[in-house]
């Protein structure tokens, strides 16, 4: 299980985890928007992805934060977090920020929360089991309502029209994650980024 430091340390890392599934067959699916959002952040900051055990990681050594894309498949995302925490000091659940899809939110919606239930999301369930708490910050990206078959829905790709909405949403999500690693409070992030609908004109 993930064990936070006994006391906060200025040397502790801040870790953004984008949830998704590895492999071309899952690229561009609704379940992989967490991967896509932090890909945008890595590209903007000039960070390179490198394989680190069960994950792809991009580290900014100077700013002391890292981005992670687990390669374990969604339902074992916590294993990648455990591996990272063994090598890099993390100051408890508040030092991780999970970026994930949410089919309970409309397409293009964004929701920053300091804690909460898994909502039936296997990736969040794995993270929660590893952290041992529901109290870790996360950014949920709305991918639309699934109808009767949630599994097929989250593994499906977006229509051309929906993709246009998503592109702006992912860009905004990437800025939210960057503001978090820069030290913005969750209250500020919620005020700035939470929304139930896409940005007008997207």
Residues serving a catalytic function are: 31
By the 8 A CB rule, do 99 and 170 touch?
A: no
For 149, phi and psi rounded to 5 degrees?
A: -125, 90
Give the separation between CA 76 and CA 63, rounded to whole angstroms: 28
Name the residue among 52, 112, 102, 61 with its Cα closest to residue 82: 52
Give the separation between CA 166 and CA 124, rounded to whole angstroms: 21
For residue 123, give every residue at least 6 positions away whose Cβ sits within 8 Å of its Cβ, in sequence order, or none. 19, 34, 70, 74, 75, 77, 98, 100
Under DSSP, is residue 95 helix (H, G, I), strand (E, B) or coil? helix
Task: Tell me the H-state helices in the chain.
Answer: 33-45, 77-87, 122-131, 150-154, 160-181, 186-193
Largest interatomic CA distance in the chain:
49
């Amino acid at each position: 299980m993930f064990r936070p430091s006994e006391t906060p340390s200025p040397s502790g890392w801040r870790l953004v985890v984008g949830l998704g599934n590895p492999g071309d067959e899952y690229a561009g699916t609704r379940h992989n928007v967490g991967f896509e959002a932090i890909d945008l952040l890595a590209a903007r900051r000039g960070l390179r992805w490198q394989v680190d055990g069960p994950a792809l990681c991009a580290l900014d050594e100077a700013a002391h934060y890292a981005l992670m894309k687990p390669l374990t498949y969604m339902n074992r995302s916590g294993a990648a977090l455990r591996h990272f925490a063994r090598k890099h000091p993390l100051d408890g659940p508040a030092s991780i920020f999970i970026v994930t899809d949410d089919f309970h939110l409309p397409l293009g919606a964004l929701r920053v929360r300091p804690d909460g239930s898994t909502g039936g999301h296997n990736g969040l369930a794995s993270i929660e089991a590893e952290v041992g708490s529901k109290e870790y910050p996360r950014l949920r990206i709305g991918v639309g309502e699934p109808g009767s078959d949630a599994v097929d829905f989250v593994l499906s790709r977006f229509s051309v029209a929906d993709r246009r909405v998503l592109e702006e949403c992912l860009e905004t999500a990437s800025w939210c994650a960057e503001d978090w690693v820069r030290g913005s409070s969750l209250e500020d992030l919620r005020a700035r980024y939470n929304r139930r609908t896409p940005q007008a004109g997207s």
